[in-house]
Amino acid sequence: MSDPHNEAALKRNGIKITKREDVAMTHVALRRGAQSELEKRAGALFGAALPPTARAVEGAGKLVVWAGPEQWLVVEPKSGGKDPSVELAEALKGVASIVDVGDSRVLFRVEGQKATEILAPGMAIDFHDQVFKPGDVAITHASHLGVIVWRLPDGKGYEFACARTYAVAFSEWLYETCGKLIPA
């Protein structure tokens, strides 16, 4: 995954990469004709409206990430004994299709002062602070791998969701990209 030279460069760049094993991920898709009811239930459930465009919002200890038109990825802390997708399926029964995607997706977090500067050349996104603002989401490619990327709502980093089958290749690209030495 990473070599000592790469680790040293990450440290010099002030970059921290974390594979998030502490979260559950659930895909939510609107059912035809149920938009107003889904919005009502989701608002009560999350304490925030579902983002209608490429945004991520926090509410009730969950992060709701826009994943395409009328689709969202709900990211929340794992808690022993309960399955968040089952709870979401009960709460949104009849108005949304719910799929636990925790076994099919991997989440990586990139944090650090130079994260924007380092990621920008490697992806077809304008990561400038005035363009890709905290909470913004993009569905794009990184090294020919499909990813959903969002800027953390606090603006201090990014999270990437990719297919588990590509996790090793994406991780290698991420460490290689973030390990490039950026002049001080």
Helix, coil or strand: residue 19: strand
The pLDDT value recorded for residue 94 is: 97
CA distance 165 to 152: 24
pLDDT digits (tens, 9 = 90+) for 70-112: 999 999 998 877 888 999 999 999 999 999 999 999 999 999 9
Q: Which residues pair with 110 in a beta bridge?
A: 17, 158
Backbone angles phi, psi at 171, to 5 degrees: -60, -45
Backbone angles phi, psi at 87, to 5 degrees: -65, -40
Spacing of C-alpha 127 from chain mean position: 15
Tokens of 167: 């996790």
The residue with greater pLDDT, 87 or 4, is 87
The pLDDT value recorded for residue 88 is: 94
